[in-house]
Structure 1
Amino acid sequence: MRRVRAICAAGLCLVTLAATPACSQGDAPTKNAAGTVPAELQAGEAKFNANCAACHGVGGVGTSQGPPLVHKIYEPNHHGDAAFQRAAAQGVRAHHWEFGNMPKIDSVTPADVDQITQYVRWLQKQAGVF
């Protein structure tokens, strides 16, 4: 009986280890061929870094304070661009992650959020999210 349990435990460990990469939060986004964010997205990058990166991480990869935005959950078909506007204007009740609720962000305008969203979508595309 002990041998059966040991074999089952070993199998469970192998399955868990094999599944771990599939559950990762995604690779860090890559830069374009020139090594920089495209000029038309740099304002969005700066606004993201100033208003979002403390929780969502530089490059949107997440931190211990907030989830990665470069993740399948935030692809346009699941969280459309309007979701970013609502999140900034109203905050968000925690529902996908266990980081707690996101407060509204008074320091950004709807135009700022549009630029931030375009930058995040570019990051997602670079990482192969969509």
Structure 2
Amino acid sequence: MNKKNLATVTIVAAAVAAYFFRENAPGDHPGSAQADPPRGAAIVQVAMPATLSETARMGQRAFDAKCASCHGADAAGQKGVAPPLIHKIYEPGHHADMSFLMAAQRGVRSHHWPFGDMPPVEGVTDADVKMIVRYIREVQQVNGIF
């Protein structure tokens, strides 16, 4: 390849690379998504069921009282705070219902997410957790988790 062709190829490659990086870099250009949502922003979008069973409705109230401050509204998680529970990681085949009970009672060491360890949940009963799990499972199902 002669010097003229090499220079042309180099210039074209540099232009393509510059265009790619400009279009894919976070920023304020039109069509750009916010690159880094603020702390506390929902991590996932959650579709809610049209109706919940009575047990799940009670679980939703318990979740809102004991869990939502960390795991967010509708269990969507909060950036920089806690993970979403409406996520494939928490499907029954990977995190059985008992794992939620154990996490509430004993806390849990961080193992899937970079949020740190979860402490035990004060003032939540086994019955509360069972209703919370029913709520989470019904919402997961609507969101195609299982």
- The structure with the largest helix share of the pair is 1
User: Paired residues, what number?
Assistant: 120
Aligned runs of 1:18-33 on 2, under 5 Å? 25-32=43-50
Structure 2 unmatched runs, 5+: 1-9, 26-42
List structure 1 runs of 4+ shifted beyond 2 angstroms.
Answer: 1-11, 36-40
2-structure distance, mates of 1:45, 1:69: 13
Question: Within 2, Cα distance between the matches of 1:5 and 1:76?
Answer: 49
Distance 1:87 1:6 in 2: 53
**How far is 1:95 from its partner?**
1.2
One of 54, 64, 67 as aligned partner of 1:52: 67
Q: Which runs of 5+ in 1 are unaligned?
A: 15-24
Indicate the residue corresponding to 2:145 in structure 1: 129
Match of 2:54 in 1: 39
TM-score, reference length from structure 1? 0.79
Q: Go from structure 1 to structure 2 and tell me whether the alpha carbon gap of 1:2 and 1:91 turns closer, same or farther (over 3 Å shift).
A: farther
Residues 6/89 of structure 1: CA separation in 2 closer, same or farther (3 Å cut): farther
Aligned residue for 1:54, secondary structure, equals helix
TM-score between both structures, scaled by the size of structure 2: 0.71
Distance 1:2 1:49, change over 3 A: farther
Q: CA deviation at 1:2?
A: 5.6
Superposition RMSD in Å? 2.6
Structure 1 pair 3–71 and aligned structure 2 pair: CA distance change class (3 A): same
